[in-house]
Amino acid sequence: MQSEPTQQVWIFFDEGDSVRGRSLTQRILDTLRAAGCPGATVLRGVSGYGVHGVVHNDLLVDVSGHLPLIVTFIDRADRVAALLPTLRKLVSEGLITITPVTVVHSSQRQGGPFPRHLTVADVMTRDVARVGPDTPVAEIVALLIDRSIRAVPVVDADQRVLGIITDGDLLSRGATTLPLRLKQQLPLAQRAARIEALAAQPQHAAELMTPEPVTLPATASLAQAAAVMAEQDLKRLPVVDAAGHLVGMVSRYDLLKTVAEGLRQRPEQPLQLAQGVPTTVAGLMITDVPTVERHTPLAETLDRLLETEQRRVVVVDADRHVVGIITDGDVLRRAGRRIPGGVLQRLAAWFGGSARPEELEVAVQGHSAAEVMTSPVITVTPETPTAEVINVMMTHKIKRLPVVDDAGRLVGLIGRATVLRALSGGTAASDA
């Protein structure tokens, strides 16, 4: 027996109705699917009449577009209430009715790795930093750094989402020359100086944002959120209510953390993946992994680091045993004690896409990869189940894991993006 109030919604309209050139039927179905509605059915009438008293029958040849259509779906009462404002706007001419129902039996296929009873609203971050379209770039960057976030929504006076500003937007539009993750690794004085210098920049949020970003309704299912992130290659999405007001942000981390918590609470239940999706690391990892050795000169290590989109290299010994890992953040954090401040800033700018510092060779002479690497390294094997990979990533807050064979030799790399793609039904390896 269903414990929560449940309702069945009936929407009546003509099959020829459209909204902005698209079939009203498809618009309604798209809206329900995006909101995480578990299912909907379209019924087509064969005969009937409406308020005008005109009888339409499918045996006649001249009534195309006038026969009645019915879309019906069943969902929780709170989710129905959230959907009604949008449905009313879509159905300008028609009828919407709601009937309380009691679910006495529901037999469905496996719901996949995400808890079916949870929606985006249950896992999202509610305390969301936001800016207005007139917010200056210096204030935006300071906010992103202070809150340790990588994106901020742009909203109007009514808190409706106008756009989003990401680290990539700031770089591509020339507002900054250094990624935020690297700015945070600079000494405090240098970081403050960079933000102060931005005060002279003329850009405001409206010029920097990506307009009309992808958003999710608060009622969307976690599976829907994962599918959108995987398809669009996005790490986080603004969440809006039925009126389009910003109510939260949901991230790749939020979704994986929820799956990990479910696995921890119910260890006896296997992780449910779509048919054909690999269940172990072997089918998900990438194998083209940049490497260096302990004694590799730091200058060469940095060149290798900049060759990869992942901005990380794995440190191995002569037999490819994993002994460490290096990210661009590791370099700035640990090399800062050995490299003069001016060179350090130019090194950071190089990581952000600027020219290679001419004085780099001299500044890092005599230093090696071993001095900036993180060691020891948490690893997994090709046989590691996907469920265990998720637990390891979330427990240690690691984005990417080296994959080693039984002898500890490097064979691949796996990251959160690939894991989320697998959870949403995809199989192809990505850049991890």
Kindly write down the DSSP assignment for every residue of 275-292, as one continuous string.
TT--SBGGGT-B----EE
Name the E strands within 141-252: 151-155, 161-166, 210-211, 216-217, 236-240, 246-251
pLDDT values of the chain reduced to their tens digit, one per residue, 432 residues: 345 789 999 999 988 888 877 889 988 988 887 676 778 999 987 766 655 555 555 444 444 456 788 999 998 898 899 899 999 999 988 899 999 999 887 654 455 788 887 899 999 999 999 999 999 998 998 898 888 888 999 999 999 999 999 988 887 777 776 666 666 666 666 667 777 777 777 889 999 999 999 999 999 999 999 999 998 889 999 999 988 899 999 999 999 999 998 888 777 778 888 878 889 999 999 999 999 999 999 888 888 887 877 778 999 999 999 999 998 778 777 765 555 555 556 666 666 565 666 666 655 677 889 988 999 999 999 999 999 999 999 999 999 999 999 999 999 999 999 999 999 886 555 554
Name the E strands within 350-409: 400-404
pLDDT, residue 61, reads 46
User: Is the CB of residue 72 less than 8 Å from the CB of residue 8?
Assistant: yes
Greatest extent of the chain over all pairs of C-alpha atoms, in Å: 91
User: Is the CB of residue 189 less than 8 Å from the CB of residue 129?
Assistant: no
Q: Report CA-CA distances (Å) from 412 to 140, 225, 258, 288, 351.
A: 37, 28, 26, 7, 24
Task: Return d(Cα 218, Cα 157) in angstroms, integer.
Answer: 20
- Which string of b and e fits 76-111 if b means at least 16 CB within 10 Å? beebbebbeebbeebbeebeeeeeeeeeeeeeeeee
pLDDT, residue 1, reads 39
Match 């010029």 to its residue by tokens: 207
- Residue 131 has, within 13 A of its CA and on its CB side, a CA count of 24
Q: Which of 124, 130, 134 is nearest to 161 (CA)?
A: 130
Domains parsed from the chain with CATH numbers = 6-101 (3.30.70.120), 120-265 (3.10.580.10), 281-360+367-423 (3.10.580.10)
pLDDT, residue 60, reads 46
Torsion angle of alpha carbons 156, 158, 162, 167, nearest 10°? 70
Q: Is 24 strand, coil or helix?
A: helix
Name the E strands within 287-331: 291-293, 312-316, 322-327
pLDDT, residue 3, reads 58
pLDDT, residue 258, reads 92
pLDDT, residue 345, reads 62
